[in-house]
Amino acid sequence: MPEAPAVPSYASGISEVPLLGDTIGDNFARTAAAFPGRDALVDRTTGRRWTYAELAAEVDALALGLHDLGIRKGDRVGIWAPNCAEWTFTQYATAKLGAILVNINPAYRSHELEYVLNQAGIRLIVAAESFKTSDYAGMIEQARPKCAALEHVVLLGSDAWNSLLDKERTGSIDVELSADDPINIQYTSGTTGFPKGATLSHHNILNNGFFVGELCNYTENDRICIPVPFYHCFGMVMGNLAATTHGACMVIPAPSFEPKATLEAVAAEKCTSLYGVPTMFIAELADPDFDSFDLSSLRTGIMAGSPCPVEVMKQVIERMGMAEVSICYGMTETSPVSTQTRADDSVDRRVSTVGRVGPHLEVKVVDPETGLTTPRGEPGELCTRGYSVMLGYWEQPDKTAEAIDAARWMHTGDLAIMDDEGYVNITGRIKDMVIRGGENLYPREIEEFLYTHPDVLDAQVIGVPDAKYGEELMAWVRMKDGATPLTAETVREFCTGKLAHYKIPRYVHVVDEFPMTVTGKVRKVEMRERAVELLGLQDLLKAKHA
């Protein structure tokens, strides 16, 4: 008998829970009517808190205020601020109006701000006056003469902002909205060239927030601590929209991530869920006062944003009590989550995979060369299709066509393997893959092994130029307090006999911090640039290759 064909690396998310057909404004109004007296939002820094009825009143007032300023459906409204209650007001008020909220990265400087203001055609910008070393007001004034579309600048806390929130304002907003209308533009932090504006609809992000919350088993009794940035999908979709679709409470521990403030917020507000990228959880676990915080209220949470080290995940479960913690995988262009672990998955599954495809979505793994679906167990590029795939990059149809194929599959650029049960493992970025003497090496595998070293707090592996092999491996490591710094020799001793010789890093560099994006992703491009200088390999970059 002929052999049965191999099972393809394809999975679709079956669900008895239907997709939401609402707009964000209607869904929020429904939740506020169902849970008017329950806590909706807590801003720890200012000590303010709102019930759902109170939050709905703020959102309605701001929507009317923006409407009276002339903001209409389809107009772009920028928001440039760290995490604060006003960010959330603006998110829901623009959704109610049908205006498109443009998230501006708090780390942007004037050059990047000017690009986004012009590329998105922003008519009104809501901004903090300043944050840390950034003078937002000054940078906006500097950019304003070069931004033809920009008519209004409203600084948080100013008279102009307070007047927008005037509860005495009368009137109503009569606007017809479709769930498929664009409602949000998020600029991807492209490592080369200018960022692209992923354009997302009500349907995209409302459903993604809802189903992420469903898989975390959220109800109106949950309190979600959100130290991840609102300007990113992790904060405003997986955080805010997951909360408001379930009547749960959003807790803002601080304007930007602070380990101690996060732990204090969980303890004081009895949070049941905590979010973070791996570096955030690493910082919380390393806080010298960690053991003094009562984290017994925690049940679940989400670790996402970059590959989640197995050892860190185990500590989050054991030391933080997050028995149902979930790993999510996705990207801004897919609203963001495509795969997620479930609360009833084994600990092994939850510490070693990014879970299975989400409800109502499809994923597949394809050969990057041929585009054909690989058999289960074989690596390739992960692709996603379904309600979550963005409408496109704002006014860049050419870039959209490069990312979304004719069959509406979003090509992620991530390398993945799908196992026989449909669980997905992310093995790296196609661009991060190191080719050493013809061998394809995946930094993620080597990083996971280095995490098992008792003195290593964090590890990142990159490829650097090499005359003989084309590329060689270099490990950047952060040491635990008091540990003796590792050297290339001690790393080689630790790896010998456990890793194939060609997977052992030739170079080791000990650092206090990795270069990071604001969302907590390690900037490997910058690491490679710095490594070339550290190792004196500039001449190798000039060598010509076929």
Residue boundaries of the structural domains of the chain: 24-418, 433-543
Tens of pLDDT along 20-63?
A: 999 999 999 999 999 999 999 999 999 999 999 999 999 999 99
Kindly write down the DSSP assignment for every residue of 87-108, as one continuous string. HHHHHHHHHHHT-EEEE--TT-
**Statement: residue 544 has pLDDT above 70:** no
3-class DSSP state for residue 355? coil
Question: How confident is the prediction for the chain on average, in pLDDT?
Answer: 93
Tens of pLDDT along 175-186?
A: 999 999 999 999
- Chosen CATH of 433-543 out of 3.40.50.1980, 3.40.50.720, 3.30.300.30, 2.70.150.10: 3.30.300.30
Evaluate whether 363 touches 308 at the Cβ level (below 8 Å). no
pTM, 2 dp: 0.87
Closest-CA residue to 464 (of 490, 491, 441, 495): 441
Does domain 24-418 bear CATH number 3.40.50.12780? yes
Going through 214-316 in order, the beta strands assigned E by DSSP cover 223-225, 249-252, 273-276, 300-303
Interior/surface letters 267-291, b for 16+ CB within 10 angstroms, e for the rest: bebebbbbbbbbbbbbbbbeeeeee
**Statement: residue 75 has pLDDT above 50:** yes
**Statement: residue 494 has pLDDT above 90:** yes
Tens of pLDDT along 333-366?
A: 999 999 999 999 998 898 889 999 999 999 999 9
* Rounded percentage of the chain residues whose pLDDT exceeds 90: 81
Sign (positive or negative) of CA dihedral 109, 114, 115, 119 = positive
Evaluate whether 514 touches 527 at the Cβ level (below 8 Å). yes
